[in-house]
């Protein structure tokens, strides 16, 4: 837990207000909490279990844990961090039970991975070694509709699905769900540096998929 | 990224782009990337492609909770409230 508690300054004022409403039994407050965190929880759960269906069960189970612990939650971490830790622990337990656990080591970035195929740069020894052979395309010139159309989104969905679990989780938490790097580090118990490597590899692979789609 | 070159090439820029966008580079390294970007349209396009990628991934965001999950969670909340 090297990173835990380093950045987390505790529950925010908004969270404390929400907490008071939850404890008073306010259903709307609970619904808003659920819709705020559901997607992120699903992303965390899918790090440790294989299928979306099992991940959904894990999220349900985690919410029961959240409700059980709500009266004892003291606000020393943010409510979000606390919830994400509950879902991570629930998913790990479930993963172990199913003998489908993602070994902890695989949350660490593995091996080397080039963001862009080395063949796209001038070879070592050439006059412009390490420089683009041919510049990447200027996407600013693509018609806006192409960037926004369904097919493009499907390319992104497929590219994210094809990522190794740890990369998929980090890009989903950061770029789909809008979590901060601190929140990712605390939920997954990875260092800032490793979080950035995983994010870099994930974004690079999705970019490459988009490039292939646009360039045909 | 402790080693400080006098300049970085394109292949190094594409490996530093996330650290650059996350503002995680040492100021000296960030300055080297910026110097490179001032001279290289290819890398300017690449950094823009990465930004566009992040923005496009963000469009997958969806706050909707599956109806059956939502129903059973609300039921659990009502139970919890009664205890």
User: What's the complex ipTM?
Assistant: 0.90
A97 pLDDT band, cuts 50/70/90, is: confident
Per-residue pLDDT, A100? 53
The answer to whether residue B4 scores a pLDDT higher than 70 is: no
In a domain, B35, yes or no: yes
A130, B11: Cβ pair inside 8 Å? Answer: yes
A176, B58: Cβ pair inside 8 Å? Answer: yes
Of the residues A175, A198, A208, the best mutation for testing chain B's interface (the one with the most B CB atoms within 10 Å of its CB) is A175
In a domain, B3, yes or no: no
Range of the domain at B40: 10-82
Per-residue pLDDT, A9? 72
The Cα B40–Cα A133 span in angstroms is 12
A7 pLDDT band, cuts 50/70/90, is: low
In a domain, B2, yes or no: no
> What pLDDT digit, counting tens, does each position of B56-80 carry?
999 999 989 999 999 999 999 999 9
In a domain, B15, yes or no: yes
- Per the CB < 8 A criterion, the answer to whether A188 and A88 are in contact is yes
Q: Give the closest of A139, A199, A211 to B18, CB-based.
A: A199
Q: Give the closest of B9, B49, B76 to A136, CB-based.
A: B49
In a domain, B50, yes or no: yes
Q: Which residues of A touch B15 (CB under 8 A)?
A: 114-115, 200
A25, B81: Cβ pair inside 8 Å? Answer: yes
> What pLDDT digit, counting tens, does each position of B6-60 carry?
789 999 999 999 999 999 999 999 999 999 999 999 999 999 999 999 999 999 9
In a domain, B72, yes or no: yes
> What pLDDT digit, counting tens, does each position of A119-128 carry?
999 998 888 9
The larger pLDDT score, comparing residue A45 to residue A96, is at A45
- Distance (Å) of CA A203 to CA A53, A116, A128, A168, A198: 26, 11, 26, 10, 9
Among A138, A137, A118, smallest CA distance to A129 is for: A118
- Distance (Å) of CA A98 to CA A51, A89, A142: 12, 14, 46
In a domain, B69, yes or no: yes
Per-residue pLDDT, A106? 67
pTM above 0.95, yes or no: no
Q: For chain B, how many structural domains are there in total?
A: 1
The larger pLDDT score, comparing residue A98 to residue A113, is at A113
Other beta carbons within 10 Å of A187: 25
Per-residue pLDDT, A37? 97
Residues paired with A121 in a beta bridge: A132
Mean pLDDT (chain A) is 90
The Cα A184–Cα A88 span in angstroms is 11
3-state secondary structure of A14: helix
In a domain, B74, yes or no: yes
3-state secondary structure of A5: coil
B52, A203: Cβ pair inside 8 Å? Answer: no
């Amino acid at each position: 837990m090297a990173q835990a508690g380093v950045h987390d300054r505790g529950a925010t004022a908004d969270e404390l207000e929400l907490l008071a409403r939850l404890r008073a039994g306010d259903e709307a407050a609970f619904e808003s909490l659920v819709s705020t965190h559901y997607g992120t929880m699903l992303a965390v759960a899918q790090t440790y279990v294989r299928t979306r269906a099992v991940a959904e069960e894990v999220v349900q189970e985690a919410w029961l844990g959240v409700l059980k612990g709500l009266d004892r939650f003291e606000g020393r971490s943010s409510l979000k961090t606390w919830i994400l830790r509950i879902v991570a622990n629930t998913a790990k337990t479930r993963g172990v039970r199913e003998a489908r656990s993602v070994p902890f080591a695989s949350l660490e970035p593995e091996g080397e991975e080039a963001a862009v195929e080395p063949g796209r740069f001038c070879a070592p020894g050439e006059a412009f070694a390490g420089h683009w052979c041919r510049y990447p395309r200027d996407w600013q010139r693509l018609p806006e509709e192409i960037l926004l159309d369904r097919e493009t989104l499907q390319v992104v969905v497929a590219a994210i699905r094809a990522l190794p679990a740890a990369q998929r989780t980090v890009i989903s938490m950061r770029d789909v769900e809008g979590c901060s790097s601190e929140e990712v580090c605390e939920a997954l118990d990875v260092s800032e540096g490793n979080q950035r490597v995983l994010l870099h590899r994930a974004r690079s692979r999705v970019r490459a998929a988009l490039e292939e789609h646009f360039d045909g | 990224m402790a080693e400080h070159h006098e300049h970085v090439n394109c292949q190094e820029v594409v490996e530093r782009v996330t650290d650059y966008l996350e503002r995680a580079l040492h100021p000296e390294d960030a300055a080297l990337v910026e110097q490179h970007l001032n001279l290289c349209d290819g890398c300017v396009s690449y950094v823009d492609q990465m930004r566009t990628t992040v923005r496009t991934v963000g469009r997958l965001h969806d706050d909707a909770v599956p109806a059956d999950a939502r129903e059973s969670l609300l039921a659990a909340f009502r139970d919890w409230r009664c205890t």
